[in-house]
Amino acid sequence: MRLTPQRMAIFDYLEGNKSHPSADDIYRAVAKKFPTISLATIYNTLSALERRGKLLKLTIDPSKARYDPNTCPHHHLICNLCKTIADVDTRYRLTLPDTDFEVTGSHVEFYGTCPKCGSGSRNTEN
């Protein structure tokens, strides 16, 4: 992969990013510095990083793919309202039924309401 200034800007944006951005989010951020960058460059770079195992493509949100630079095994919390995604680093031990299936990985998704969306919306009456 050729390291162009635009690709370096994409790498910089993703490094340590925990917001699980979409390609559009990345495009808007990088275009501030490189206004002529194309969305195709964003997608091609994301695809190349994914193929090299440097980036996870999350299909949690059916309306758009999100990207996670944290490739270590972890799980996610997803807000049903604002679609915020947060990492969960806790390991869970699951017992599977006896099978000949060779499990090579797992990912758990927890859905609910984040603190931002939930504040003020809970019923506090007893």
* 126 belongs to a structural domain: no
Model pTM above 0.85: no
Residues spanned by the domain of 94: 75-118
Domain CATH code at residue 49: 1.10.10.10
Percent of the chain at pLDDT > 90 equals 67
* Coil/strand/helix, residue 115: helix
> Concatenated DSSP letters for 6-29?
HHHHHHHHHTT--S--BHHHHHHH
Per-residue model confidence as pLDDT tens digits over 70-124: 999 899 999 999 989 999 988 888 888 888 888 888 888 999 999 999 865 544 4
Phi then psi dihedrals of residue 52, to 5 deg:
-85, 0
pLDDT at 123: 42
* 108 belongs to a structural domain: yes
Per-residue model confidence as pLDDT tens digits over 16-39: 999 999 999 999 999 999 999 999
Whether residue 63 sits in one domain with residue 83: no
Per-residue model confidence as pLDDT tens digits over 43-71: 999 999 999 999 999 988 788 899 999 99
* 123 belongs to a structural domain: no
